[in-house]
Structures are given as structure tokens and as C-alpha cells.
Chain A
Amino acid sequence: MKRILVLEDERLIALDIAATLEEAGYDVIGPHGSVEGALTALEDVPPDFALLDVNLGRHGTSLPVAEELARRSLPFMFLTGYTTLSESFPETFGDYRRVQKPFVSNELITALEEELPSE
């Protein structure tokens, strides 16, 4: 089972994502609501993939985690409420996929599967 790390500060949304992933047969790490939690989790069990909410509200953004993941060459994608117009997204992560909130469950899974490296 693939381990998917989820970073989402809105707990309700996080629970929804976790439920969607588990229904699709993935093992969910978290969901974590803060950068610190996510980084600690990364140390414990390296995930196969990660889903990162960009704006973590009062916890800032998920970019530190994204950087760490990129450093470890782990695949991930972003969840975001912003459109490209209204957000200044860092160039570094311009190549990573972004999934718009609110998402439809099977769309999220389809995107995930496309991004997951085949074995």
C-alpha cells in the first residue's frame, strides 16, 4: 500500500481527503495540520507521495515541507484554493501539479495516480 502524506490545516477537509484516499486504498500518513507535524512525520516514515495544502492559515504555508520533499526527490502535489491569477506561486514549484479546492473525490484520485511514479 502506498503511503500518502497529507498536510491540510482545515481538519474537516483533511478528514475528507484522508477518507477519500483510504477508500481508494491508500495508506494515509496524518493528516497533519502544521509544517512541524508533517516534517516530523517525514522523518519517521518516508511517504510514497504527499498532498500539500498551500495556505496553512495561521501556520503559514506548506512550502518548507515541499522543499524538504523535493530535496528527497519524493513526489507530491499541491491542493490550493487560489487560481493562478490571484496567487504569487513560487517559481521553484511551478512544475508541480496543483489540484483546485474544492475537489471531487475521483478527480483527486485520478490526479494522484497520474502523478504517482509507476513501479
Chain B
Amino acid sequence: MTGDFAAPTQPVVGIGASAGGLQALTEFVSRLSPDTGACYVIVQHLSPDQNSIMDQLLQPNARLPVSQIKSGEEVTANHIYIVPPGHLLELQDDHFHLTERDTSEHLHRPIDHFFSSLAQTKGRDAYCVVLSGTGSDGADGVKRVKAGGGFALVQESQGARFPGMPDSAVATGLVDFVLPVGDIPGRLQDIMAHRGNLRNERLRERLRHDVEASLETIAERLSEVSGNDFSSYKPGTLVRRIERRMSLLRVESVKRFLSILKDDQQQAELLAQEFLIGVTQFFRDAEAFEQLRERVIAPLVARDQRNIRIWVPGCSTGEEVYSIAMLFMEEMDRQDRHHVLQVFGTDIDMPALVNARHGNFSTPAVEALGKERRERFFTASNGRYRAISTLRESCVFAPHNLVQDPPFSRLDLISCRNLMIYLSAQLQSQVIPRFHFSLRDGGHLFLGPSENIAGEDKLFDVVDKKNKIFKRNSDAQTRYSALRDPVPKVRSSSPSRLAEAGFSPSHASEVALDVLAEREFLRQHAAPFALISEDGNIEFLSQRMADFVRPAPGTPSNAIDAYLVRELRVPVRSALAEAVESGRIARMQDVLVERDDKLTSYDISVSPLQDESQHYLLSLDTVRRIETGSLSQAVERREQADRDMLETENFSLRRQLSAALQEYETSGQELKSSNEELLSMNEELQSSNEELETSREELQSINEELETVNAELQENNRQLTRANSDLKNLFESTDIAVLFLDRNFCVRNFTPATSDLFGIRARDIGRPILDLSWRVDYPSLHDDARQVDETLQPLEREVQVKASGETFLLRVKPYRTTENLIDGYVLSFVDITSRKNFEETLRRNEEDLARQYGELENLYDTTPVGLALVNRSYEWLRINETLAAINGYSVQEHQGKNHDQLLPDIAEIVEGIFDRVFETGEPVLGIEISGQTPASPGATRYWIGDFYPVRSNGEVFAVGVCVREVTEQAKMVEEIRQQNSRQKILLGELQHRVKNTLATISAVAKMLSRPGDSPQEFRRRFLERLAAISRTHDLLTDADWREVSLFDVLRKDLRPYEGKDGDLLNLTGPDLLLSPQQAMALGMATHELTTNSAKYGAISADGGRIDVQTRVDDRDDTRHVTIRWVERGGPKISAPPKTKGFGSVMIEDVLASDLGGQVAVEYAPDGLVVEIKFSDPRLETA
């Protein structure tokens, strides 16, 4: 806080806005003139992860530069700053300081945060503006700014889109101006301009001087308005706040401000409110509270004392009260002792007390308490915290003026922190003895850190000097007495009283014009006169009579003897006595009075006035001026007359004196005895007075307490009434039938629905429920009630109304009073008839579904088509037995496995298809798949698969697979294909052979034609060869054109020549299996050899025979075959034939060539020998 009249610094305007703020901000900035010298900071509620473009939105409307704040930036005048989202802003030495918002705090109050920082650093140069928004952010900040001497302006809630924030700020009662948003900039500029004027040092000094001088007048005025006496408050604070109010009103002279205070009661009330601003918080100065707990609270709780009474004067909004109550409750828990705790919180600030009593606190204030205390003592509601009822019940709040009202008594602790600093030393020294009086023996006093016991050291002993804990000194005596205190000022109920009592001189003068004339005449022309009372006091003097006054020395008196000139005293007294006695005019003549060194003779007359006032008029009539010559004669005469008068008077006085002496004697006696009586009476009275005073004090204290308790009770009563009406509304609005029974099953209460259902009427309240004819069939009420009593748990039961077939769910609960005692039962009936029906239908539907599902399931498993459902990880969601068998695993083994794990061989193919279906959402049908599965390892099998998407909520979540095995069909197709190709080869081979055979026959025909042969001869020879070829063909055809036995070939050719014995041909060695080509060549050669032998060789003679010897040698990776044709027993051969015929060509050339071997022909004498040699690796023996 800056000093009383510190020089103004750079003003900073904090602007808080939230929902609906953009509109208000746009209008606000558009009205700001560019050279106010202030810096404007806009704080909003923004989501931390959203970028703000507020600066760009505002810039087009503003004549000032607009920018987002960067941390560390210097505060610049005539600039608009915007706090970036997700940050809290603070001011430090005219620099901005941003901190990340702590996201763990569930309530975000950036406006309060910045306003607090603003109040702390800028003090009286802090300005805050609250614009549209929901919630209550900014209200606490307004308090801080105001407490620091700053200014608060708020948008009018009618104009705001969301009035929550403006209304909360206004509710603090501290706001200076509530204006439409467009008027706020202008007002701000006015205030700042006025503050700017105070830069002039001299001006400021003068203003301060003026304010101090008028402080008393102002305090008086405020006392009339608010009933609080501020005259004893420290002037520093008051002056500062007066000066602030003057700034707000743009008033520069104190005189003018005083007249405003006089004329405008509201302004005076505002100033009084301003004087009362206090900032308080929970456990302000934690260390001091810890010491208090240790040194005062713990021992107090440990004592056997039923009531603990604490008083917190100047409690403001109650934080200190609740802090102390919490400390006591915690300590009582710790020691497990329970006392009745009463903490009285008093203040003169009524709005603050209302807040305190309600126990509602802002979130930052309560969160500073820590989690444990917060959860134990507070409940959150509507973004604020409320003290729990047990805490609130131990705290009692009441209006009370520490200085003027009687104090509380018999207290254990008084906590009066940071109140005394506002009081002057004189007031402090009055308050401290009151505290002493209020405390019990050994009670404690707890003061603020900069406070002390104002020199009353004997009253208190120091317990903790640092933390200002004091203990009452029982030896010292103080006595609270109302008489000793200044008379409490009567609270003015009618502030206009002054005006009514005001004197109006102008009006009076008009009325009294004639009186004035008379008065003037008297002053100018009348004889001197005076008004005298019956007992001789001068009451009034005319102007001229003033010459005859000469007061005697000593205490001034207006008695005749002490007031008039000496010469008049005796005659006037005598005349007055005569006039009083006679009731008529009394005269004295020739009274000489020396005036202006001359003797003048006057006639004196004293006449009674006509009214009832017992006054007499004295007048002096001038008889004549006495000349010096006749003076001695006149003096003598006068002296003679005076002597006579004196003697007469002397005589009467003596007589009176002796009578008086006698009276005095007797009354002296009487007085002496009555004095003795009085003395003793006085003693008695004095002692009873002391007693009375003590009881009066106590009564006054008790009365205060009672008033306090009464206020509290009234509040409770109001809340109860509200709760009762809430309950009544709840009862009447609920459709659920609820019946409240007491422990004897008598009806205590019921909801209207109950009356519809069970025919219960209001007159039935108090009657046993079982006496009533209720329609519900519920015989077990007693048993159920007993069970609820035992278990304390709600019990549920279905009950029937037989007549209508309705079913109700009955819930029996114990009836708990607010003290948590069981005092009856609550029966609630919920109609579940339709639910029952639904349940039945649902059950039937479920059965149908289950049956249909079973059928489908059966079909799924037994269909010969493989079916499965596969998810995105290629795992089987389900699979039927057919497909499981194809895959070679059981259905169970498929669960949770994917294709890679079970079917690695075909996984790659099908996964590609799955991907396609998932991607496109289109079915893929008729895909041929081949591969191996563990069902038949090593065998490639074939399937045709359909893949279709299965959707859930429009998204493909699985692929349905439908597989048909086609391995057998594929095999057949393959076989047919192979057969076709084999047949084609066979056909080609056949053609080749046929054509070759024909070509061979053609060649044979050409080679057989010899010149000179007859056609018959040619035909015979040709047909023989054709027959031989045909025979070999027959053999080959029999053997299916595979291998043919060499011996068969030989036997076939030789058979026509075999005799009966059949020993013509002698075969030795292994039979050879010949290829068709070999067979053809050897067949034709054999035919030529046979026909040659039949003509010329062994067969031509009886007994001739033919040996055919075969030999097979395996060497050089091949088979060497030797066939020897040896003829015996035929005619002797002398020489080889001269010409070579067809036979020779066939044997020596064609056979050798076709076999790829050598043929040797020897014409031995015993017969022909032909040796055939060839090799063939593939040749087999039979």
C-alpha cells in the first residue's frame, strides 16, 4: 500500500471479462482515448489449449495498440494488453510476469489473481473493471483492489450478456460505479485525470491538511448516518479513504465534499462503508495461530470446563472466527474431549456479518487451507465452499460496537487482531481494560502482530511476546461501568432531524415587524427598566438600564445586591419586598444616584407583571438633576429617610434572625439525627448499588448474548421454514407413493400418490396403518420392520394389489431423524407393473431368439460349406466345424489364433483378400485358393472362397469367409487334360508308324522289282514280305507297341516250316525284349533268312535245324547283345552266292543300320552263320 498521499504512479486498469465479453470489450476499447497515460490489461477465461486472436479482433476498434503479453514485458502507458490463454498474470516492479496455469486446480480464477497482484503493486493507482461473464471471478479481486485504495467499476448487469460476474462484484458492496460499458472509459479517464492533478506536491499537501482539519465534522456526519463513531479512528487511514472518495466524485475542495456529505445521505453511507473495509483470511500469520494452539487452546481443551467461550471483535467476514473454531475442534478431536464451544464474532459491518454467518467462502481462500482441513470443514457448492453446519453452529455472529456497546463476559479467549491498529491510542486504552473485564480468570488475549496492550501492563501478563499472546492478570481490578464511559451517541433514526430543527431567521423577521418597532421605541425613548424575579434576580435589562449596573467582585451573580449600583440596591430590594407582599405597585421617591459625577434623583417603581410568571418590572423615573446648592438639603432628607428605612428593616431583621435561630436550633437537632440515618442508609445503598451494578453488567452481557443467539435462531428458523416448504413441495410434486410410519406403525405422513393408491386421507395421520383398509397385500410388515430395525439396511419386496393386478416394488427404509436416530419406517412404492410385463415379454423374446439362434448355430456347424468370421488381425472370431476340418484343427484350437499361426501356407494369399475387403468394403467372390493345410500335409488342395464384409455401425469390423473344397474336381480336370495330351502324342506316334510302315512297304516294293520277273512272281514275293511285316505288326499290336520277345519274332517266322516235332528251331541264351523298331528290323531280316534257308539252307533238307544263340554282356555302361543264327543239317555250301539279292541287302545293310550294329554273314560248309551284334543300354531280357 502506498503512503497517505504518495505521488501517483503509472495507473494500470485491469479488465476482467468472460462469457459475452467480446461485445463488451469491443465497445470498451473503442471508447478509450489514446492518451490517458494508463495501461489496460484484459484478463479472460480461455481454454489453455486454444489460441486467442482477441488482439486481432480488438485492434480494428481501438485507437491504442493491442498486443498479447509476453512474460517480462515492461508495463507501457497507452497500451492495451491481453493475457494469453492458460496463464496467470502478475505485476512485479512495473513488469508483467506470466505463470503457467496449474491445471490441477479445478477452479480457475485468473481475474481475481491479477486484481490481487494489481492491488498489491499499484495500490491507489489500481483500477479494476468487471464486464460480462458467468460465475463470480473478479469479486474477490474487487475487494483486494478496494482494500488497497484502488477503484472498481462494473458493467451494468442489464447491459451485460451474462450478468454473473458483474452481479457478484456489485454484491461485495464496494464497487464505486456501476455503469453501461460505454460510459466506463470516460469515467475512468475523469478519475485518472483528477488523480493526475494531485501530482502537484503543494496541492496535495494542502488537500491533506484540509481533510485532516475537517475530519471531525465528517466523523460527526457519518455518526449520524451510520451510528458508528469514527472520531477515535487513526486519522491516516481515514484521510486516505476520504481523499479516494473525493477522487471518485471528482471533488477537489474539502468544503464542497462536506456539503455533498450533508446533502447526499448515500454518499455519506458509502464513505462509512469504505471506512469499514477489512481484508481478512484464514489463519492469517500461521505461526501465531500455531503458538495459540499450543499455549492456549490445548491447555484449555484439557481442562474440565464445560463451556468454552471465545470472542472475536471486529471479525469482518468471519475468517478469523472460523479459524479459531477449527483449531478448537481439531484439538478436541485430538484429545477426545468434548466441550460446548461458542465463538462470538462481532463487527459493526452488517453485510460482512451476513456473509460470515452464511459461512460461504471463495475457492482460493479455502484451498489455501490445505486438503485435510478443507475436506473436514467445508463442502463445495456452486463454485464456492461452505463451512459445514457443525462448524457454523459453534460460531455466533452479531452486530456489536466494541467501543460503544457493553462487552461480553466470562470469556476464555479474546482474539482481536488487526483492529486496534485502526483505533487511536486513547481508544485503545479504553478497550484493553474492557478486555480485562470480559475475560475469566486466566483467560487469554490474542492480538495482531503490530498491536500491543496500550500501556496497560498491569492488566495482562505476556505469554508470547512475539506472537502477542497475553494472559489476564487476576490481581488487577477493572470494572466495566457504563457511567464511566462516554454516553453512547443515540443512533439517528431520522437523518433529516437537523434540517427540521433548523432556525429560519428570514421568516421570523417578517412576523415580528411590529415587535421590532416597539423594541426600537423602548430602546430610544423609554425610562430605564429591568425585569426582576420574585427572589431578586435581575432577568432582563433595558439598554438604558445598563448604566445602572455594576457587578460586585467575586463570582458573577445577577442578584440585586451583587449586580446593581450600590445606591439602588437597598431601595429596589425594599420596593420589591413591598410589591411582593402587597401585589401592587411599590414606589420609592428621591433615590439619589451618582452618574457622570452628578447626583440625579430618581423615583423607583416596582410593579408586578400581569402574567403568571412571578416577575416584576422595575423602572426608574428621573425626577430632576439636583443642583449643588440644594444638594446638602436633599442629601440630608434622603439620609433621614434611608435611616428610618434601615432602622425599620434592622428591627424586622433582628426579629427574623431570632426566629430563624430558634428554628435553626431545632432543625440542627433533626438534621443531626437524620444525617446519621442517611449515613447508614448511604452505606447500605452503596453496597447494594455495587451489587446492582455488577448484576447489571452481567445482565447487559447476557442480554447481548441473548440478542446474538436470538439473531442466530431467527436465521435458523428462516432456514427451517425454507427447508420445510421445500419438503412440502417435494411431497406434493413427487409421483412416488411414500408412506412414513412411526415405530408403532401409525401413519406419520404420506405423499399424495399414496392417497391415490391406498385411500389414505389426512385424517388417518396418527392412526395405525393396519387398522386402515389399504389395498396392498402385505402381511409381513411387522417382520420386515423388525428386520430393518436389526440390519438398518433398506429392504425391498414386491407387493401386489390383487384387485387391479398392479405390482409395486416396496422399499422399507429406516426413518432417521436429523440426529440419526431410528424413529420409524419409510415405505416407498414404485409401480413396476409395466416393468413386470416388459420383463415377461423380454423373457419370451429371449427364448425365441435362443431357439432361432440354436437353429442357426446348428446349421452353421453342419453345413458342408466352410464358414468363418475373421477380424483385422486375421484372427478367427468364429469358425464352423466344416472349415475347421478343412484347416485340420478343432474349432477350439482356432480361437484367438490367426492365419499365420495355423495356416502359414495359405496365409499370405488370404490376408491379401482380407485387406481388400476391409479397405473397399466390397465382397470378393469366387476366389480360387490352393495350398496345403495340416489336415492333409503334403497334398495340395483346392478351394473356392467367397469373402464378404461384416459391418457393425456402418464400419467393417470382420470378414465373413465361405469356403467350398474343390480338390477332387481339380484333380479330375487335370487328369482329363493329361489324357488329352497323351492321346495326342499317341495319335502322332501312330501316324508316324503307319506312314513309316507304308513308306517301308513302298521301298520294299521298289526294291523287289527285278527285271525279268513276272508280275505273278513279283506279287508272290511282295505278298510274302507284306505277310512278314504283318506278322511282326501283329506281335507288336498284341504287345501294345511296347517290347516284343525276340524268340516270339523268330518262332512266328519259322512256324510255317516247323514239323511235328517242333525241333527245327533251337533257342539258347536269354530271350530279348525288343523295341518296335528293333522288332520290325529283326522281323524282316528273319523272314529273309527263313525264306533263304527254306530254299537253299537247313530247312530245305530233312533234319536240318537252326540254332539261335543269344548273349548279353554288360560293360561300358551299356548292353552288348550278340545273336548268332547258325544253320545245320542242310545241304553243304560250296561257295557263297555270286549275286546279292534283296535278302542280302535286308540282312547286311538294313538290319545292321536299323540296329546300329554289325552283321557278319559266313557261308560255312555246314550251313549259313549270321552273327548280329549291337548294343542298347535299355534292352531288357525276358
Question: A residues engaging B (CB < 8 A)?
Answer: 9-16, 19, 33-34, 55, 57-58, 80-83, 86-87, 100-103, 105
Contacts and interface: CB of A to CB of B under 8 A. Distances in A.
A19 B1154 contact: no
Given A10-B1154, A11-B1154, A100-B995, A82 B988 contact: yes
Nearest to B1004: A12
A82 B999 CA distance: 13
B1007 A15 contact: yes
B984 A86 contact: yes
Interface stretch (B360-368, B390-398, B918-926, B1145-1153): B1145-1153
A18 to B, nearest CB: 10
B988 A19 contact: no
Given A19-B1006, A82-B988, A102-B1002, A12 B1150 contact: yes
- Per CB-CB distance, the 9 closest pairs between chain A and chain B, nearest first, are A81-B995, A16-B1003, A11-B1153, A102-B999, A11-B1150, A86-B988, A101-B999, A102-B998, A102-B1002
B869 to A, nearest CB: 50
Contacts of B1077: 57-58
B52 interface: no
B302 interface: no
B1000 interface: yes
Nearest to A105: B1006
Nearest to A104: B1002
A101 B999 CA distance: 6
Contact of A15 (B988, B991, B1145): B1145
B1019 interface: no
B994 interface: yes
A87 B988 contact: yes
Contacts of B999: 10, 13, 16, 81, 101-103
Interface residues of B, number: 29
Nearest to B1153: A11
30 contacts: A9-B1154, A10-B996, A10-B999, A10-B1154, A11-B1149, A11-B1154, A12-B1150, A13-B996, A13-B999, A15-B1149, A16-B999, A16-B1002, A16-B1003, A19-B1006, A33-B1154, A34-B1156, A58-B1077, A80-B995, A81-B991, A81-B994, A81-B996, A82-B995, A83-B991, A86-B991, A101-B995, A102-B995, A102-B1002, A103-B999, A103-B1002, A105-B1006
Nearest to B1152: A11
A77 B37 CA distance: 118
A12 to B, nearest CB: 5
Contacts of A103: 999, 1002
A30 to B, nearest CB: 11
Nearest to A13: B999
B995 to A, nearest CB: 3
A58 B988 contact: no
Nearest to A83: B991
B391 to A, nearest CB: 109
Q: Which of B998, B1001, B1007, B1153 has the most CB of A within 10 A?
A: B1153
A82 B1150 contact: no
Contacts of B295: none
Q: Which of A11, A19, A34, A58 has the most CB of B within 10 A?
A: A11
Contact of A12 (B994, B1000, B1075): B1000
B669 to A, nearest CB: 181
B1000 A10 contact: yes
Interface of B: 984, 987-988, 991-996, 998-1004, 1006-1007, 1075, 1077, 1081, 1084, 1145-1146, 1149-1150, 1153-1154, 1156
Contacts of B1150: 11-12, 15
Contacts of B1149: 11, 15
Contacts of B1146: 12
Q: Which of A14, A81, A87 has the most CB of B within 10 A?
A: A81
B916 to A, nearest CB: 40
Nearest to B1077: A57
Given A58-B1077, A101-B998, A102-B998, A12 B1003 contact: yes
A103 B1001 CA distance: 11
B811 to A, nearest CB: 95
Contacts of A86: 984, 987-988, 991
B1029 to A, nearest CB: 10
A102 B1001 CA distance: 9
Given A82-B991, A83-B991, 15 more contacts: A10-B999, A12-B1003, A12-B1150, A13-B996, A14-B1153, A15-B1007, A15-B1145, A16-B1007, A19-B1006, A34-B1156, A81-B994, A81-B996, A86-B987, A101-B999, A102-B995
Nearest to B998: A102
Contacts of A80: 995
A58 B1002 contact: no
Contacts of A101: 995-996, 998-999
Contacts of A87: 988, 991
A8 B988 CA distance: 18
Nearest to A59: B1156
Nearest to A8: B999
Contacts of B1145: 15
Contacts of B988: 82, 86-87
Nearest to A34: B1156
A81 B1002 contact: no
B1006 A82 contact: no
Contacts of A58: 1075, 1077
Contacts of B995: 80-82, 100-102
B478 to A, nearest CB: 139
Contacts of A9: 1154
B371 to A, nearest CB: 95
B970 to A, nearest CB: 26
Contacts of B1007: 12, 15-16, 19
B1006 A81 contact: no
B683 to A, nearest CB: 161
A87 B988 CA distance: 6
Q: Which of A12, A34, A100, A103 has the most CB of B within 10 A?
A: A12
A100 B995 CA distance: 8
Contacts of A16: 999, 1002-1003, 1006-1007
A35 B1153 CA distance: 14
A105 B1007 CA distance: 13
A11 to B, nearest CB: 4
Contacts of B1003: 12-13, 15-16
A10 B1154 CA distance: 6
A54 to B, nearest CB: 9
B1000 A55 contact: no
A13 B1001 CA distance: 9
A85 B1153 CA distance: 31
A16 B996 CA distance: 12
Contact of A55 (B984, B992, B1081, B1153): B992
A112 B988 CA distance: 25
Contacts of A100: 995
Contacts of A83: 991
Contacts of B998: 101-102
Contacts of A34: 1156
A80 B998 CA distance: 12
A38 to B, nearest CB: 14
